[in-house]
Amino acid sequence: MEPGDVYNPRALSDAPPTTTGSDDAVAAGLISKRVVQLLSERTGRGATKVRTWINDELVTVVLQDVLTKGERNLADAGHDEPVLESRRAYAETMADEMVAIVEELTGSKVAAYLSANHLDPDIEIESFVLERATRGTNADTNGATAAAA
């Protein structure tokens, strides 16, 4: 997979993706695949679209169409909070496995893991802050960017 490619989880295979891109591009494709597999195993449904970005010390996985039929029916009937609560519970129970996937594939320790869901549109975001030095720039606490020393 190349950076920015949309991963199709319906075409899963055990073979790693072939790419001439960077190590981060390969890791991003594998993270996408493994996160979708884990979601499918734990919730009964994966995602129809997933995209992973690795930028310096931040890994972001955006998944689309992740809700089960039951969750979708509840959300459609206006019962958003129980659906969001169940998604938070899923995230808590999968946190260690999600972190292990990212640590294995990036070679970096995860300092923080955050998960959030949006119901309409059906989007889930998994974010991981890595304990590795940035490559080239650092942002100060005001958001300004300065060259790395």
Instruction: Identify the three-state secondary structure at position 77.
Output: coil
Residue 57 DSSP class? T
pLDDT confidence of residue 16: 42
pLDDT confidence of residue 132: 79
Beta-carbon contacts of 85 under 8 Å, excluding residues fewer than 6 positions away, are: none
Question: Is the distance from CB of 25 to CB of 1 less than 8 angstroms?
Answer: yes
- Give mean pLDDT in consecutive 10-residue pieces for the chain, a chain of 149 residues: 49 39 88 98 96 96 97 98 98 98 97 98 98 55 44
pLDDT confidence of residue 99: 98
Give the CA distances from residue 135 to residues 51, 91, 104, in Å, rounded to whole numbers and listed in that order: 22, 30, 20
CA nearest neighbour of 36 among 63, 67, 55: 63
pLDDT confidence of residue 94: 98
Residue 110 CB neighbours (<10 A)? 19
Does the predicted TM-score (pTM) go above 0.85? Answer: no
Domains of the chain: 20-134 (3.30.980)
pLDDT confidence of residue 22: 79
